[in-house]
Amino acid sequence: MSTVPLFEPPVRPWIQGARPLGADEVALMEWQELLFCRLTGQFGSYISSPKTIASEQLLRLERSIYYGIGRNSPAFGEIVALFEPLEEHGSHAGVTTPFDTGGLAQGHIHLRPPVSNPAEVVSDANVAIDRHQDALNGWIDATYPPGDYRADEDGSRPTESSVPAIVLTPDTDDRGWTWEGRIDARDYDQLPLTVRRVYFKHGSLQMYLDWLEERTPLDSADLLPHEDLIAAIGMEVASPYEAMMEDLGG
């Protein structure tokens, strides 16, 4: 990895990771297809999990594609993709929230009494994409403890949320303070975000290229440019999470 950070502070990239399946879990999509959707913006075939669908219904959100902003949990470190932050409004309906909305819907984030309506909390807490970088960095500078917002360790745990309705209790994990970006889940002629790097575990990059050749999700005119893109941004590493942290300067 380069000794120069991939993103110069205070830029906080948008990040997507993938986690390994549990012993009793069945994949809704092949991981290659999932990554393909994320890199091309072809989200029409994207399959949301039942938990995600239930969370969106509870919070009155449109069907969405989700990103962590500026950090990624090592639990989602099987494959990691880094994108330039989305900062311009458009048909993608991009928006950010200072916490993981799914974590709130599923009860992993606690509301401060007498607040009781999670949908209203999300609506009130949303931060426009053209302001989210300044808002996130302002919160980190003003209230974050000694430590690193990007890191997943006890010394980097904040004591207060930037959202008054949320209380960070001892059992609140990083979903309580990881900022979230969202765009509409639909097919795009061009992905609204610019991908900068994809970290593959050793052997996975070739598996992705083999899948492209076998499944041919693109016509011949588009396949070669996509393969060229993967050659330019793809990197095989022992640990995608650790490689991401190194490139972010963490």
State the burial class of residue 185 (Cβ atoms within 10 Å of its Cβ: 0-12, 13-18, 19+): middle
Is the pLDDT score of 5 beyond 70?
A: no
**Whole-number pLDDT of residue 64:** 97
> What is the predicted pLDDT for the residue at 106?
95
Predicted pLDDT at 52: 96
User: CA-CA distances (angstroms) from residue 116 to 35, 60, 107, 166, 187?
Assistant: 36, 15, 12, 10, 35
Tell me what the mean pLDDT of segment 44-72 comes to. 95
Residue 250 has pLDDT above 70, yes or no: no
* pLDDT at site 21: 79
Instruction: Flag whether pLDDT at 35 surpasses 70.
Output: yes
Give residue-wise pLDDT tens across range 115-142.
999 999 999 999 999 999 999 999 998 8
Instruction: Kindly state the tokens that stand for 35.
Output: 């990554």
Find, among 11, 1, 7, the residue nearest to 132 by Cα: 11
pLDDT tens-digit series, residues 62-100: 999 999 999 998 889 999 999 999 999 988 999 999 999
Q: Is the pLDDT of residue 1 over 70?
A: no
220-233 helix and 31-40 helix, angle to the nearest 10 degrees: 90
Q: What is the pLDDT of residue 183?
A: 97
Model pLDDT for residues 219-233, shown as the tens digit of each residue? 888 888 999 999 999
Give the pLDDT score at 3.
52
User: Is residue 104 within 8 Å of residue 214, measured between CB atoms?
Assistant: no
